[in-house]
Structure 1
Amino acid sequence: MNSSSNCTYDFENDEEDFLAFQYVIEIGIIGPMCIFGLIGNALSFVILFRENGSSPTFFLLRTVAVADSLMLVTSLLMYVVPGLMHYFKMDSYSHYKAYTAVSIWPFAMMAQTSTIWMVLVVAIERYIAICWPTKARMLCTISHARKEVIGVTIFSVLFNIPRFFENYITEDGCSMKMSFDFTELYNNPNYRIFYTVVLYSLVNAVIPLITVSFININLTCSLRQASKARKNMGVPIKVLEKKSESSITLVLVLIVVVFIICQVPAMITHIWGEIIYHLAEHSTLMNYRYFAVFSNVMVILNSSLNFLIYCAVGKRFRKLLKVEFRKLCCRKYQYVPSHSFYMDKTELTTVSTKRLTCSHSKSCSSSEMEERKETLTHVLS
């Protein structure tokens, strides 16, 4: 009797500790991370569109920003909103929690799959552009990029449709509280082993991680070779073009590294949960639950970090970002489109001077004009 009583007491304490930990993580970390990620992805989308709207690479990176944003929105709905409802003791908490598991979770899985495969598509596009330059003009086009995005979207939706049939809503007749339970489909051992373990691991983990790792190694080697080759080049425009390509490739290499680090815990959690969860002892179950929260944070972090990568590596991205902020603050000059990068220095200076003309020219000093002209000239150099 004493042993049983102690076990119950320990279990209740562990449950309370875990719920407190989960609440702090969801409200204190996941919430701000999602807000920051949504703002960063929106800014990235705008800058990447202004930078070169017709580039297949930038088009795919914009699509990654959209997929990441969908992932962050579903994360807010699944983790942050229920936490706030529970904190404010809202009567609809149990209803919302049940509908989240049944209706929102499948969309979150679709967003996760699309995010993973969009990163893979961008990596393949960069690999072709850098390692197979003779085929790049034919394969790396905006039309091909659009088809790839459509294909990834359709695949992500179709692959995760079974998720809608894994849970159903139940209601307690006495307390009138709602919850969810597993359907017969999910309780079928064959379905769980084949779909939720094998197929999920292959589609969302093994194939993407192995592929992007291989591509990342080759791109890293190409970056080193390009760095050595630039030292022997004497034509300035070629140096600039090579440097621009290397900068884009470096951004992708870092995105892939972050992707691998953040997605591996999710793969471990999913396999662990499906194979061990219902067979393990209490201490192992609690370890799994804590690790599951950690893996959720890592997945959300992956969808929030690309903006910081662009800012850290992309010198031109930072300058364009400053231009956008200055436009929002004073609205006294207009953006020079990125095709001006291909103008000669005299033409660029002329265009920049015209577009930097203040709408209230009398209130702008000559020093301000020179400073703004110099800023835009450097952005495009």
Structure 2
Amino acid sequence: MIGHLNDSQYDIINTANSSVLDKSLGRPSTRDDILFIMYGVLVPLVVFFGYVGNVMTVVVLQKKTMKPITSIYLQALVFSDIAFITCAFIALSMPILLATCLDPDIGLNVFNTRGYIAINFFLMTSLLCNEYILVLVSIDRYVCVCHSQKHTQIFSRTKVILSIIGVVCFSAIYNIPRIVAVKIEVSPCSNTSASVTCYSVLMTEFGESFLYQKVYAVWIYAVVNFVIPLMVIVNLNIPIVRKLWRKQIKCKRLGMRRNSAKDHVTLVLILIMAIFALIQTLGFINQVYYTYSLEDSHSTTYLVDVVNVLYVINSSINFIIYIAIGEKFRTTFSQLVQARCIKKTGQ
């Protein structure tokens, strides 16, 4: 979840990508190598790794080795991860790669600006979807662990699907103001001899208004993207951990060493949400730090870059947690790999 990609996204992305342009024009910058390594090398590698892992996760979840409700939520979470890392790669890596490998104007003044409205909208929509699907997962795990007798009454396949659709619709509607807040206009290219048409992103009258700049871009953004998800996830997962801890102590007293499959799934999701909460907290600190007059600080910019990379990593490594902790997932995953290896050997 990209922490800095709020309504100041264009300024910050240009701050990150402008070093590539400066370098190509003979103006050295101390950020050049660091930014290229982070966005031009590290992020593409992490995204590729995330694609492989998330696709394999979807295949395993399709085997229906766990309860349908949990499987639906996990598949929704995986697809939101795939959507997010795709948008993050397009927003963060593509401009720098195109500027470095082809031409700075193509990367920064054509691709990065011409496609900004669509890229920003889908990126922020996938980010919000990912966050609130985790909120739904937290609610599901809380009811399942702490009020198990009510779980089947509250959750059904239809309700779960409708709740996920509701999150997608809410995320899309919430981000519509980002579309009308900016406009794309033709502008001079940095290279006067360029053969391409260059563009720039400008704020519309609505985008420059107090309603958008302060109310929507700062306060509503902070509440919807940070405060609500963090509060719900933290407050629901604390009693879940307490319940599992008491259960573990009781199992030890009775001589039972192994947790149930339901507990394994819950532990997996708790770890995923704990990592999310940590990175989301860093994103919130970054947002506050940037908002209050420190946007020209190099330390702020580097914090932005670090948080961005952490968000991409977070959406790319969940399958490792599934394998490490989820016994049923690990078993199914191992069987799937063995079956494919045997099939290839037989051929």
Q: State the TM bucket, normalised to the shorter chain.
A: 0.7 to 0.9
| CA deviation map 1:184-217 (0-9, x unaligned) | 2222123221111111111110011011111121
Q: Is the 8 A contact 1:226 1:246 kept in 2?
A: no
Q: Give the conservation status (yes or no) of the 8 Å contact 1:38–1:304.
A: yes
Give runs of aligned pairs for residues 147-186 of structure 1, distance below 5 A: 147-173=162-188, 175=192, 176-186=197-207
Structure 2 CA distance for aligned equivalents of residues 53 and 316 of structure 1:
8
1:273 aligns with 2:294: no
Is the deviation greater in 205-214 or in 46-55? 46-55
Provide the rounded CA distance (Å) in 2 between the counterparts of 1:187 and 1:273: 18
Runs of 4+ residues over 6 Å off in structure 1: 12-15
The alpha carbon displacement at 1:183 in A equals 2.2
Distance apart, 1:311 and its partner CA: 1.1
Residue pair 2:87, 2:123 contacting (<8 A) in 1 also: yes
Alpha-carbon offset, residue 247 of structure 1:
0.7
Give the aligned partner of residue 261 of structure 1.
278
> Which residues in structure 2 correspond to 1:35-114 (within 5 Å)?
35-52=48-65, 55-90=68-103, 92-93=106-107, 94-114=109-129
Residue in 2 that maps onto 1:314? 326
Q: Secondary structure at the match of 1:187?
A: coil
Alignment of 1:115-130 (within 5 A): 115-130=130-145
Residue in structure 1 matched with residue 229 of structure 2 by the alignment: 208
The yes-or-no answer on 1:187 pairing with 2:201 is no
Instruction: Give the 3-state SS of the residue equivalent to 1:17 in structure 2.
Output: coil
How far apart are 1:309 and its partner, in Å?
0.7
With 142-151 and 104-113 compared, the bigger mean Cα shift is at 142-151
Partners of 1:148 and 1:195 lie apart in 2 by 24
* 1:274 positional shift: 3.6
Give the Cα separation in 1 of the matches to 2:88 and 2:44: 9
Measured in 1, the distance between the counterparts of 2:288 and 2:28 equals 23
| Equivalent position amino acid for 2:100 in 1 | Y
Distance 1:308 1:67 in 2: 17
Moved more, 115-124 or 82-91: 82-91
The residue identity in structure 1 corresponding to 2:281 is V
Task: Give the one of 311, 321, 327 matched to 1:299.
Answer: 311
Moved more, 310-319 or 267-276: 267-276
RMSD, aligned CA: 2.5
User: Structure 1 length normalisation: TM-score?
Assistant: 0.76
**For residues 291-331 of structure 1, what are the alpha-carbon distances to aligned partners after superposition, in whole Å with 9 as ceiling and x for unaligned?**
11111112112211211110110123222112112222222
Percent of aligned positions with the same letter in both sequences? 24
1:218-260, Cα deviation, whole Å (9 max, x unpaired): 11111112212334569x9xx97x6111111111110111111
What is the one-letter code of the residue matched to 2:303?
A: F
The answer to whether the 8 A contact 1:23-1:83 is kept is yes
Secondary structure, aligned partner of 2:316 = coil
* Deviation of 1:173 (Å): 4.5
Name the CA distance, whole Å, in 1 between partners of 2:252 and 2:286: 46
The Cα offsets for residues 67-97 of structure 1, whole Å up to 9 and x where unpaired, read as 0110000011111221211111236322101
- Structure having the larger proportion of residues in helix: 1
Counterpart secondary structure, 1:79? helix
Secondary structure at the residue paired with 1:170? strand
CA contact (8 A) 2:40 2:96 kept: yes
Q: Which residue matches 1:31?
A: 44
Normalised to the residue count of structure 2, the TM-score between the two structures is: 0.83
1:85 corresponds to which letter in structure 2?
Answer: L
Letter of the aligned partner of 1:330 in structure 2?
Answer: I
Query: Which residue matches 1:247?
Result: 264
Q: 1:15 to 1:263 in 2, by over 3 A?
A: farther
Matched residues in 1 for 2:110 and 2:273: separation?
38
Partner of 2:4: none
Amino acid across the alignment from 2:320: L
Find the aligned partners of 2:114 and 2:28 in 1 and give their Cα distance. Answer: 23
Give the drift of 1:276: 2.1
- Measured against aligned partners, the alpha-carbon deviations of 1:98-126 in whole angstroms (never above 9, x if no partner) come to 02322211110000000000001001001
State the aligned residue count.
315
Verify: 1:326 aligned to 2:322, yes or no: no
Take 2:322 and 2:66, find their aligned partners in 1: how far apart are those partners? 16
Residue 368 of structure 1 is matched in structure 2 by none
Task: Give the counterpart of 2:299 among 287, 290, 298.
Answer: 287
The structure whose Rg is larger is 1
Q: Larger RCO: Structure 1 or Structure 2 (Cα < 8 Å, ≥ 6 residues apart)? A: 2
